[in-house]
Structure 1
């Protein structure tokens, strides 16, 4: 049974991201959300595209107004009004100013903007009541980005902010990695779908739904293969199908040491290299990680909490890295104050579900209520963090610091 950090190291050392030449698609900007850039983005445009005003006010020559005071205002002739989207036609001469609005192009000859609150305007004259700083409220062309340089590196996940930036510099076609294909199935004679009527001893298969949703959140393409009975022949057929059609396979159940836990034996018979079968953690100890050529296989435990904790700890960073993300794919750890008393038997690295709150500027972890059985799926509702108690730690008292794993990063 491996230490958690050793299991993680084995997985990360085997990750081979999608190929930057073979595994790419070209999509338009509107379809780029949540995709991963396969190539760097370089725009021809500067940003801002031209010198423009950052304030409603008056475009002036600094030399004309640098001595302005409320008791001794400088009076300038207003020769043009420049709203946003208008191309100035007049060059500002000594003793002149232009009325200008936020975002509007700076006129030739002007180098500074005086905000309107520091002026008094009468007909075609403006009284400058306070001296501005040189080039105050002027956004210069290329201040934020200069065309021809790298704007976004490959491996960037495109969120709303990146989409906005790409739109602003007119990058309308994007080279992105194809979506990672993830096959998912659940095992067990006791499982039924949410649509079926429950009979005594049966359990609704929630794992497949949760895993598919998590894969979608990460930008992957789930291939849902349904429920497979505890039958070696049926399991072998579905695993062969999965490894032929996916980059990554997730099964839940069938990886413990019971009489009906067939997954490991079937994987070995199909030629998989099994790297480990158990991890020193709770929940989630029975965890199989295996590889086929070009395919990774995670055999997750069947209990819902165990399956999801295993996913968050190992599968989530795996999917991020395989998808082409180059930075920020590893688990995000934080040390925060616990508001709850956290307990463990100290024998296994223990993961406790709960919520991370920001209270008075300090992050605090609140343990989920209820029974902390690995079968208590209800406890995971609104969970956004897991507290980790290392091997040998049996108690974290309220107000003590605890290491947590943030689940959405």
Structure 2
């Protein structure tokens, strides 16, 4: 079976396979403050105009623009002061020609007024006010519906809701949002050598670190992680666990057992779990080559490398995009990256997309990246890095002093 890893599939080809998997169809209505990070299940339409009334954007005087068209510092226009309008109250009067009204930022404009002159260009004198600057229609005002018109689509189904969206939703009175259910992601650790993270390892044993890391990665990508009971390096036990898991999850992540050793049973088990068999047996990525993908009766299942850095990288680069598809998200997240200058050479793995962890430091206004010595089995590679540089499969690497793009992980 070892020879199968000689035919590594490029990452972009793996991503194209995801079209066979349908997004989760379950939906639920959640309070607005719980909707951040969730994916809208239907278009969201503004139920009312925003603002609901014309309002002032500056402290000053509400005026009729035509009355102050000739106003200037050397020849101010004098208007009769009609009254004052405070925030939160309806004006008690209409503004007639030749009149002005003291108004505060956010207050409702009186009928008849069509502009605001900022207070620094005015001088009050008893029951009148001098206007020393001309105003155009709608200066320093916001019309009803100018921000959002009633009935306008605020965003479409498939958009992940962010803190930026909450203000507009709250302002238009939307307190509940229908969202897609979070895909349930089962995390199944395998290995005779594994013990719980709170347990002291015995001779030859190690703590299971991949399961907790994958759990928080899944949650950050919009899924609902479920830690499944760990299984030993036993093919029959693994097959039973996968059979039980696929009935309750939308995506299955199997940690360990994806390589070609005599105790690596994941490939054989997944190949028997559905008519499609294994879709991917090895990816052209470093670290993370021994990665599997199968369609087990319509449920996607990944076999992830047991080495912690490999597992982390493969989830971020390969599994997270599939999870976002299952979530119903229609737009990939915007990249979080930074241009840097390299302090050392970076060398890629021949024929494989390579991810090199780096540490960032600012030096006289220039961000510089230093590679972190890494090994796919060592967590310190991630603990001391701020991001990684992607070296494409066809590129040998980057030279010291080159400009490169770092994808930020913190």
1:161 to 161, 164, 184: 164
Q: Structure 1 residues 44 and 361, CA, compared in 2 at 3 Å: closer, same or farther? A: farther
Contact 1:335 1:401 in 2 (8 A): no
1:348-399 deviations in whole A, cap 9, x for unaligned? 321112356788887x562443x31101212212645321223353331233
Quick check: 229-238 or 282-291, which moved more? 229-238
User: What residue number does 1:120 align with?
Assistant: 123
Q: Structure 1 residues 32 and 107, CA, compared in 2 at 3 Å: closer, same or farther? A: same
Q: Structure 1 residues 163 and 64, CA, compared in 2 at 3 Å: closer, same or farther? A: same
Is the partner of 1:354 in helix, strand or coil?
strand
1:240 correspondence with 2:243: yes
Contact 1:338 1:399 in 2 (8 A): yes
Contact 2:21 2:298 in 1 (8 A): no
1:349 to 328, 353, 368: 353
Q: Note the residue ranges of structure 2 that are not aligned, 5 or more in a row.
A: 1-6
Q: CA deviation at 1:16?
A: 1.6
1:311-364 deviations in whole A, cap 9, x for unaligned? 0111111111110111125x84868344232123434321112356788887x5
1:144 correspondence with 2:147: yes
1:279 correspondence with 2:293: no
Contact 1:368 1:379 in 2 (8 A): no
User: What residue number does 1:26 align with?
Assistant: 29
CA distance in structure 1 between the aligned counterparts of 2:22 and 2:33, rounded to whole angstroms = 28
Is the partner of 2:246 in helix, strand or coil?
helix
Q: Note the residue ranges of structure 1 that are not aligned, 5 or more in a row.
A: none
User: What residue number does 1:390 align with?
Assistant: 392
2:10 to 4, 14, 17: 4
1:70 correspondence with 2:73: yes
Is the partner of 2:228 in helix, strand or coil?
strand
CA distance in structure 2 between the aligned counterparts of 1:323 and 1:356, rounded to whole angstroms = 33
Q: Structure 1 residues 10 and 392, CA, compared in 2 at 3 Å: closer, same or farther? A: closer
2:59 to 56, 60, 70: 56
User: What residue number does 1:376 align with?
Assistant: 378
CA distance in structure 2 between the aligned counterparts of 1:360 and 1:63, rounded to whole angstroms = 54
1:224-270 deviations in whole A, cap 9, x for unaligned? 01432111222112111211110000111101011110111111233
1:99-134 deviations in whole A, cap 9, x for unaligned? 111111100111110011111123332111222233
CA distance in structure 2 between the aligned counterparts of 1:254 and 1:365, rounded to whole angstroms = 38
Q: CA deviation at 1:34?
A: 1.5
Contact 2:187 2:253 in 1 (8 A): yes
Report matched runs for 1:72-151 at 5 Å. 72-151=75-154
Q: Structure 1 residues 143 and 299, CA, compared in 2 at 3 Å: closer, same or farther? A: same
Contact 2:293 2:302 in 1 (8 A): yes
CA distance in structure 2 between the aligned counterparts of 1:392 and 1:70, rounded to whole angstroms = 68
CA distance in structure 2 between the aligned counterparts of 1:338 and 1:244, rounded to whole angstroms = 49
Report the count of equivalent residues.
402
Q: Structure 1 residues 175 and 124, CA, compared in 2 at 3 Å: closer, same or farther? A: same
1:164-186 deviations in whole A, cap 9, x for unaligned? 21111011222110111000021
User: What residue number does 2:4 align with?
Assistant: none
1:172-205 deviations in whole A, cap 9, x for unaligned? 2221101110000211111111111122222111
2:307 to 303, 328, 342: 303
1:320 to 310, 324, 338: 324
Contact 2:39 2:160 in 1 (8 A): yes
Quick check: 285-294 or 222-231, which moved more? 222-231
Q: Structure 1 residues 375 and 198, CA, compared in 2 at 3 Å: closer, same or farther? A: same
- Tell me the TM-score normalised to structure 1 length: 0.92
- Tell me the TM-score normalised to structure 2 length: 0.91
Contact 2:271 2:294 in 1 (8 A): no
CA distance in structure 1 between the aligned counterparts of 2:360 and 2:148, rounded to whole angstroms = 36
1:14 to 9, 13, 20: 20
Contact 1:339 1:366 in 2 (8 A): yes
Contact 1:354 1:365 in 2 (8 A): no
1:119-172 deviations in whole A, cap 9, x for unaligned? 112333211122223321010111121111211111111111212211110112
Contact 2:9 2:282 in 1 (8 A): no
